[in-house]
Amino acid sequence: MLTASALDEGDNHLSVYIHDEAASFRFQIEGRLAGNAARQLEQSWRTALSVIGNRSLVITVGYLSGIDPSGRALLCRWREAGAQFVAKSPLAKTLVSSIVGEPVTSETSVAKSVGWGWLRGYALPLVPLVMLLSPGTVSAASLGPATVRAWEEYVEAANKRMERRLRPDKTFLWVDEAPDRLARVRAGEILVSPLGARTPARVPSGLIHDWIGAVFIPNVSIQDALAVVSDYAHYKEFYQPAVIDSKTIATSEAKDQFSMLLMNKSFFARTALDADYESCYVRVDDRRGYSVSRTTRIQEIEEYGAPTEHALHEGEGHGIIWRLFGITRYVERDGGVYIELEAIGLSRDIPASLRWLVEPIVRRVSRGSLLTSLQQTENAVRLRDELANSKAGNRGSIASTARASHPSR
């Protein structure tokens, strides 16, 4: 039996579809999971508990145009009650996991037809980890199922860490975990550090590189920062020389999709990476938010720029980088904006005979690349702010001149 209803509170329109089935009781939600609408939905669920009985509780989440702390709290209460969550796209799976702190089932049959409107695309480009391997590791490699599984488990753990940061008893920012760390960033230093006991972490036939960096940009707002990092078409200008081309594929209230052509001119003079990304932004409150981004396609291009240029199949090639995933946190306070980027990459393993030589290079290049990316982001945000202030000043001068030329009668 299917029952549909709509819960409203001003702009908080939420459509709820109840599927009362023999083996399960399912809520399907579409719209804005916030405010009174979220509270009414929770009351409906509690009222239905006696009807649900021993059946499975399933929460299918479709298009959401917004979510607030009440909505996030409801998702967590459903999790505590043992509900099974079903997300209608791979990105939704990642993002719901980040809120409920556990794996979420994908509804792949409708993955292309739905999105997540409580999110927006703003995500720093995941370019820091493309220069990972030295010429000694450029023999052919293929991405296998065991490596993919290890990668997905690692990303799931990163999502859970992000969910824990939303708790009242936890720090939202990595820099807030240590007073000295915060003071250094607040003073203008860009901090970069590996995460985990060992970076890179070895997985079957691969390596996972996990780094975090933080920068403080004074005298700007969170909207100033988001305006820059969502300007995908200009990434090729902001992040030279690693990004040699970039473009927007699609933007919506659900997610952003964009592409970048990356090149490591230090090691691979004729090897480029053509990558598609999807990203979305979770607004925690007026001054805090975080984005989740991932690659949806990475292909190596051999002999780039030559007449013999050709793209390899996904998961084939030198294994420079197979996957990228990132979580970026934004906080507006102290007269500016803190930006933190955790950049995670998956590459092929390094042959045992070369690890002593290559791993220090990998760590040094990864650290330097992430630092450069954050510095370039800061420069782009500052430049945009200066241009905006300059235009505002010019408009004020024109208005003053006009008033002086035409005094009131």
Are 121 and 255 in contact by the 8 Å Cβ rule? The answer is yes
The token pair at 85 is 């969550």
Find the domain containing 276 and state its range.
Answer: 119-392
Residues 53 and 134 in one domain: no
CATH of residue 297's domain is 3.30.530.20
Label residue 254 by pLDDT band (50, 70, 90).
Answer: low
Residues 152 and 49 in one domain: no
**How far is residue 17's CA from residue 2's CA, in Å, rounded to a whole number?**
7
> Across the chain, what does the average pLDDT equal?
78
pLDDT over 50 at 368, yes or no: yes
Using omega within 30 degrees of 0 as the cis cutoff, is the peptide bond preceding 241 cis? yes
Q: Count how many Cα atoms sit within 13 Å of the Cα of residue 315 in the half-sphere of its side chain.
A: 9
State residue 129's pLDDT score: 45
Q: Which of 87, 110, 133 is the last residue of a domain?
A: 110
Is residue 171 one of the residues assigned to a domain? yes
Are 203 and 367 in contact by the 8 Å Cβ rule? The answer is no
Q: Looking at beta carbons, which pairs linking 83-87 to residues 24 or more positions away fall under 8 Å?
A: 83/57, 83/58, 83/59, 84/56, 84/57, 84/58, 84/59, 85/58, 85/59, 85/61, 86/58, 86/59, 86/60, 86/61, 87/61
Average pLDDT over residues 74-102: 79
The token pair at 276 is 């598609």
Is residue 300 one of the residues assigned to a domain? yes
Burial of 138 (0-12, 13-18, 19+ CB in 10 A): middle
State residue 133's pLDDT score: 37
pLDDT over 80 at 1, yes or no: no
Label residue 408 by pLDDT band (50, 70, 90).
Answer: very low
**How far is residue 152's CA from residue 277's CA, in Å, rounded to a whole number?**
16
Q: Is 349 or 187 the better-scoring residue by pLDDT?
A: 187
Distances (CA, A) of 214 to 188, 225, 263, 394: 10, 14, 24, 34
Is residue 376 one of the residues assigned to a domain? yes
Q: Count how many Cα atoms sit within 13 Å of the Cα of residue 332 in the half-sphere of its side chain.
A: 15
Q: Is 173 or 282 the better-scoring residue by pLDDT?
A: 173
Residues 223 and 330 in one domain: yes
Is residue 106 one of the residues assigned to a domain? yes
Q: Which of 84, 110, 136 is the last residue of a domain?
A: 110
Residues 256 and 195 in one domain: yes
Burial of 253 (0-12, 13-18, 19+ CB in 10 A): middle
Residues 39 and 135 in one domain: no
Residue 173, sorted as left (phi over 0), alpha (psi -120 to 50) or beta, turns out to be: beta
Residues 71 and 139 in one domain: no
Is residue 368 one of the residues assigned to a domain? yes
| Span of 9-13, 24-28, 133-137, 293-297 with lowest mean pLDDT | 133-137
Residues 292 and 386 in one domain: yes
Burial of 397 (0-12, 13-18, 19+ CB in 10 A): exposed
Are 171 and 179 in contact by the 8 Å Cβ rule? The answer is no
The token pair at 114 is 């739905």
Label residue 285 by pLDDT band (50, 70, 90).
Answer: confident
Is residue 397 one of the residues assigned to a domain? no
What is the amino acid identity at position 234? H
Give backbone dihedrals phi and psi of 108, rounded to 5 degrees, phi first.
-65, -20
From 103, 119, 59, 184, select the one nearest 327 (Cα to Cα): 119
State residue 318's pLDDT score: 72
In DSSP notation, 70-131 reads HHHHHHHHHHHTTPEEEESSHHHHHHHHHHHSS--EE-GGGTTT---TTEE-------TTS-
Residues 124 and 27 in one domain: no
| Helix, strand, coil in percent for the chain, rounding step 5 | 35, 35, 30
**How far is residue 294's CA from residue 252's CA, in Å, rounded to a whole number?**
17
CATH of residue 45's domain is 3.30.750.24
pLDDT over 70 at 397, yes or no: no
pLDDT digits (tens, 9 = 90+) for 183-240: 999 999 999 999 877 878 889 988 898 999 999 999 999 999 999 988 999 999 998 8
Residues 127 and 219 in one domain: yes
Percent of the chain at pLDDT exceeding 90: 26
Q: Which of 47, 80, 110 is the last residue of a domain?
A: 110
Residues 190 and 147 in one domain: yes
pLDDT digits (tens, 9 = 90+) for 27-82: 888 778 888 888 888 888 888 787 787 788 888 887 666 678 888 889 889 988 88
Using CA of residue 391, residue 397, residue 403, residue 405, what is the dihedral sign? negative
State residue 177's pLDDT score: 96
Residues 149 and 259 in one domain: yes
pLDDT over 50 at 346, yes or no: yes
Is residue 407 one of the residues assigned to a domain? no
Q: For strands 141-142 and 336-348, give the pairing.
A: unpaired
Q: Is 31 or 375 the better-scoring residue by pLDDT?
A: 375
Claim: this prediction has a pTM higher than 0.75: no
Is residue 402 one of the residues assigned to a domain? no
Q: Is 292 or 89 the better-scoring residue by pLDDT?
A: 292
State residue 131's pLDDT score: 40
User: In the chain, how many domains are there?
Assistant: 2
Percent of the chain at pLDDT exceeding 70: 75
Q: Residue 402's CB: how many other CB atoms inside 10 A?
A: 9
Residues 238 and 297 in one domain: yes
